[in-house]
Structure 1
Amino acid sequence: MSLMDSNAVDPNRPKRIALVIANPAVSSTTGWPVGFWWSELSHPYHAFTERGYEVEIYSPAGGACQADAMSDPRDPSGYSEADILSMGFLSTPKLAALVESTRPVSELDVDHFDAIVVAGGQSPMFSFEQATDLHRKFVDFYEAGKVAAALCHGTAVLRYARLSNGEALVKGRTVTGFANVEEDFADNAVWSMNLLSRDEHVMPWRIEDELKALGANYIQAGLWRSFAVRDGNLVTGQQNFSGAETARKVIEALGG
């Protein structure tokens, strides 16, 4: 079912977005604490609210969430120091508080929203396999003709999302997500710092490989380039620099 065939979007009220961030987890490969990525929350949030959309924050288990340290513009690494949107989000108490009391995805009413957007970070790669409510809700949005979107490692949800007929949601669909070339870059970075041995990897599996194995037409734009793709009512973004572009594709799918 395509969005164009659906009456799910009501043009007489503000669009409503359910934005899902990951709960804290521990990496099984590095032993490090992992979480969501700030720009994948703040950039889409800004794009949606700037359009007058209503945005509510969810997580698979609900409750307080923690971001990956390097996604915080205040982190000593300086990795995200140029991310002024995330800095503004963090510096606004009302917004910063949103990640302290997320609602569980089990309480997400699909009928209330026009789109679901699943943000990434490192945690989804270790925690989304058990997030069965998220798998089901994502498919519910998709099969209702509403926009179902995922970004960066948030596209891990597509590994587990099965349609009501049992087929993988991504089979035959054009999608993107965190690319192998970007996983190689991350692996080389930790190897160069002697944080992992050469036979170890930051991630336990790879988005690009898995989506291809499920029958998706996986595409990407190259290392760290902002990129998102829309296939009907399915929207995917490549990595953490693609939050705004992913939001634009969702807005386009919702009719502006």
Structure 2
Amino acid sequence: MSKRILMVLSEYGYWAEELVGPLEVFDARGYRTTFATPTGKRARALPPSLDPEYVDPPLGRTVTTPDMARRGRELDESNRLDNPLSLADLIPERPYYSAINHLRALEEYHRRLDEALEGVLSSFDALVIVGGSGPIVDLANNERLHELILAFVAADKPILGECYGVAPLAFARDLETRTSLLWGKHVTGHPKEYDYKDGTGFLGVEFNMGPPPYPLEYILRDATGPDGGFHGNVGKELSVIVDYPFVTARSTPDSTLAGELLVEVLENGLRRYGW
């Protein structure tokens, strides 16, 4: 039976190769892939990710080949990403503690949440959070996505996070303990050396963010704790870490390998790689 993958994309822009890379791996294996966004709006590729002449400032070189730009543009212009699932429709919203009759509202929330998550977990074998700058805006602190992540971990199902798509893994926490799911785990992600000093951009936002609003490396170092670890692998071309149930990828060139390693996790029981 073919595997079923849920891929979550930002509505503020995804990096093309970080979708194309794993998606092509899944397609080649005959996997069935479903897309989701925070509110059901169609995701779009960040323009620099479709430009083979765009020079990444921290790296001082181009990061998108002409062939990848073509493949990314073909996917972005196709109808494949039309009509994604909406996390807002799929997962209920936790009530404020100031809500009237909070206790009853919280009980109803948990009832609806359990029903929703049961449906998702019965439909998918793995969760993928695609990277790019967009996840900074609408995925990193998205409580509905956090509930999905918590549910996949509880069900012992793997999760792949790429680039800034790793951030939700650090922020998804059980509200009883507030401990990061990454505590004691080994991960990679966008290191400080890869952060822009200026020009962090998002689709649909008319201002220059400047540098990223948070240094992901520092967050991941704190989230993994003294018994885990962050691996930036700066100076190495590829950086993908498997510490089950998490597969984490540093940035654009790691996308295909990340997809291949998720396949190894799903089909061959891979539990550790890269550290």
TM over 0.5: yes
Q: TM-score, normalised by structure 2?
A: 0.73
Counterpart CA distance in 2 for 1:62 and 1:224 is 37
Counterpart CA distance in 2 for 1:44 and 1:121 is 14
- The number of residue pairs the alignment matches comes to 223
Residue aligning to 2:85? 103
Residue aligning to 1:61? 39
Deviation at 1:115, TM superposition (A): 0.4
Deviation at 1:250, TM superposition (A): 0.7
Cα distance change, pair 86–44 in 1 and its aligned pair in 2 (3 A): farther
Residues 2-45 of structure 1 show CA distances to partners (whole Å, capped at 9, x for unaligned) of: xxxxxxxxxxx101111111112xxxxxxxxxx11111111100
Deviation at 1:188, TM superposition (A): 7.0
Instruction: Read off the aligned partner of 2:172 and give its amino acid letter.
Output: A
Residue aligning to 1:218? 230
Report if the CA contact (8 A) 1:229-1:249 is conserved. no
Q: State whether structure 2 residue 171 is matched by structure 1 residue 160.
A: yes
What does 1:234-249 align with in structure 2 at a 5 Å threshold? Answer: 234-249=246-261
Q: TM-score, normalised by structure 1?
A: 0.78
Aligned-residue identity in percent? 22
Structure 1: gaps of 5 or more residues: 1-12, 25-34
Residue aligning to 2:6? 18
Instruction: Read off the aligned partner of 1:182 and give its amino acid letter.
Output: Y
Counterpart CA distance in 2 for 1:165 and 1:241 is 37
Deviates more, 1:242-251 or 1:124-133: 124-133
Counterpart CA distance in 1 for 2:75 and 2:18 is 17
Counterpart CA distance in 2 for 1:80 and 1:87 is 14
Q: Over aligned residue pairs, what C-alpha RMSD do you find?
A: 2.6
Report if the CA contact (8 A) 1:43-1:85 is conserved. no
| Aligned pair partner of 1:205 in 206, 214, 227 | 214
Cα distance change, pair 81–201 in 1 and its aligned pair in 2 (3 A): closer
Q: Hey, which bits of structure 1, 4+ residues long, moved more than 4 A?
A: 78-81
Report if the CA contact (8 A) 1:115-1:146 is conserved. yes
Cα distance change, pair 127–117 in 1 and its aligned pair in 2 (3 A): same
Counterpart CA distance in 1 for 2:133 and 2:192 is 15
